[in-house]
């Protein structure tokens, strides 16, 4: 099957009729019928049976469709790449980040970058750390911002931002009258947890590891943003990073420091073999500028990357406030 046959086959599988497939592909119904007839003749078995005007896939078609879906995704990636190559002429940066950093700090950085360099195209997504690493290794992103250090031989991980872990509770909660809390103070209350393997999930588990008992965890969420929403609704208390709390400054939540807990350090992550592009360097300068304004930047003396130390002499002019 060539790519045109794959495209027509997929269109029929997703729509169920030749006429709908023709509309999806912006061609005529006879053109769809000719390609389908030629494909079935080549394969020497039918792909569809005709039932009351609809094309019902055969068992062979269903098995074939699973493989075709993978091929089609590959074609889409090629199309995306060609668009990226065109955009590179004026500058393109693709950024992926952990949700906590991505809700406020990255959008603020993008806004600053756009104001100083409106010709740069930005592609931004939030995702889990595992997917962030996958995107970077697959060269589907230029830069990652992770809520934790990334240990991979092909990736550079540079500390860039720091914040505290805080406890959040409703303002009418028994803990709300305190000025700070310890781990033992959380045990009597329902606690909103995070999955194993996530930066916050592992921190919470390590925090409770030395205790004889654990708090009751009736709900587990994948994002600290979800935890904030549930705490505000009275479901329980939670531990979140202050990056996340930037999006909840006007909420009804009480925020309490947690005693004897190490801070969260967010890291810039990128491929060791690929130099940062001028557009990516411009974004990093904007990101650091936003962090400095918020008092969350890791000092230059703690950054171990020579590339970052040279950002101020990057190819693009420094952005305002950097």
Give whole-number Cα distances, 171 to 75, 232, 286, in Å: 52, 9, 35
Q: Is the pLDDT assigned to residue 230 strictly greater than 60?
A: yes
Q: What is the pLDDT of residues 57-114, one digit of tens each?
A: 999 999 888 888 777 777 776 776 666 656 555 578 999 999 889 999 999 999 999 9
pLDDT for 53 equals 79
pLDDT for 309 equals 47
Q: What is the pLDDT of residues 241-277, one digit of tens each?
A: 999 999 987 778 999 999 988 899 999 999 999 888 8
Q: What is the pLDDT of residues 41-65, one digit of tens each?
A: 999 999 999 888 789 999 999 988 8
pLDDT for 83 equals 64
Distance CA 224, CA 251 (A): 14
| Mean pLDDT computed over 293-320 | 59
User: What domains lie within the chain, and their CATH numbers?
Assistant: 3-86 (1.10.10.10), 88-162+266-313 (3.40.190.10), 165-257 (3.40.190.10)
- Average pLDDT score, the chain: 87
Q: What is the pLDDT of residues 119-144, one digit of tens each?
A: 888 999 999 888 999 999 998 899 99
Question: How big, in percent rounded to 5, are the helix, strand and coil portions of the chain?
Answer: 45, 20, 35
Q: How many residues does the chain have?
A: 322
190-226: string of b/e by CB count within 10 Å (b at 16+)? bbbbbeeebbbbebbeebbeeeeeebeeeeebebbbb
pLDDT for 89 equals 52
Please answer whether residues 302 and 159 qualify as being in contact, where contact means their C-beta atoms are separated by less than 8 angstroms: yes
- pTM exceeds 0.85, yes or no: no
Nearest to 46 by CA among 58, 33, 38, 30: 58
Q: What is the pLDDT of residues 208-223, one digit of tens each?
A: 888 888 889 999 998 8
**Strand, helix or coil at 117?**
coil
Contacts of 128 (CB under 8 A, 6+ apart): 98, 198, 222
pLDDT for 111 equals 97
Q: For residue 322, what pLDDT band results from cuts at 50, 70 and 90?
A: very low
Q: What is the pLDDT of residues 164-193, one digit of tens each?
A: 999 999 999 999 999 999 999 999 999 999
Q: Is the pLDDT assigned to residue 228 strictly greater than 50?
A: yes
pLDDT for 212 equals 82
Distance CA 211, CA 215 (A): 10
56 class by beta-carbon count within 10 Å (0-12 exposed, 13-18 middle, 19+ buried): exposed
Q: What is the pLDDT of residues 144-167, one digit of tens each?
A: 999 889 999 999 999 999 999 999
pLDDT for 305 equals 47
pLDDT for 270 equals 96
197: left (phi over 0), alpha (psi -120 to 50) or beta: left
pLDDT for 306 equals 43
DSSP 187-226: TTS-BEE--TTSHHHHHHHHHHTTSSS-----EE-S-HHH
């Amino acid at each position: 099957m060539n790519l045109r046959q794959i495209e027509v086959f997929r269109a029929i599988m997703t729509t169920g009729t030749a006429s709908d497939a023709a509309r999806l592909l912006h061609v005529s119904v006879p053109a769809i019928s000719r390609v389908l007839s030629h494909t079935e003749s080549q394969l020497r078995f039918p792909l569809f049976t005709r039932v009351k005007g609809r094309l019902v896939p055969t068992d062979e078609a269903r098995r074939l469709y699973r493989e075709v879906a993978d091929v089609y995704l590959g074609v889409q990636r090629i199309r995306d790449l060609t668009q990226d190559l065109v955009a590179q002429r004026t500058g393109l940066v693709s950024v992926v980040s952990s949700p906590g950093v991505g809700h406020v700090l990255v959008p603020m950085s993008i806004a600053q970058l756009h104001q100083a360099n409106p010709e740069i195209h930005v592609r931004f997504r939030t995702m889990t750390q595992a997917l962030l690493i996958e995107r970077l290794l697959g060269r589907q992103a230029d830069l990652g911002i992770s809520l934790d250090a990334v240990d991979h031989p092909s990736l550079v991980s540079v500390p860039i931002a720091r914040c505290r872990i805080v406890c959040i509770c409703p303002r009418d909660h028994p803990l709300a009258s305190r000025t700070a809390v310890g781990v033992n103070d959380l045990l009597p209350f329902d606690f909103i947890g995070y999955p194993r393997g996530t930066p916050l999930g592992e921190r919470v588990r390590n925090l409770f590891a030395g205790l004889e008992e654990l708090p009751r965890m009736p709900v587990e969420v994948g994002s600290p943003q979800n935890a904030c929403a549930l705490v505000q609704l009275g479901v329980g208390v939670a531990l979140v990073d202050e990056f996340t709390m930037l999006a909840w400054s006007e909420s009804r939540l009480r925020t309490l420091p947690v005693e004897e807990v190490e801070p969260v350090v967010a890291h810039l992550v990128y491929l060791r073999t690929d130099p940062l592009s001028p557009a990516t360097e411009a974004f990093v300068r904007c990101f650091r500028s936003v962090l400095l304004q918020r008092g969350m930047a890791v000092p230059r003396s703690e950054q171990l990357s020579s590339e970052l130390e040279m950002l101020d002499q990057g190819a693009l002019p420094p952005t305002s406030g950097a």
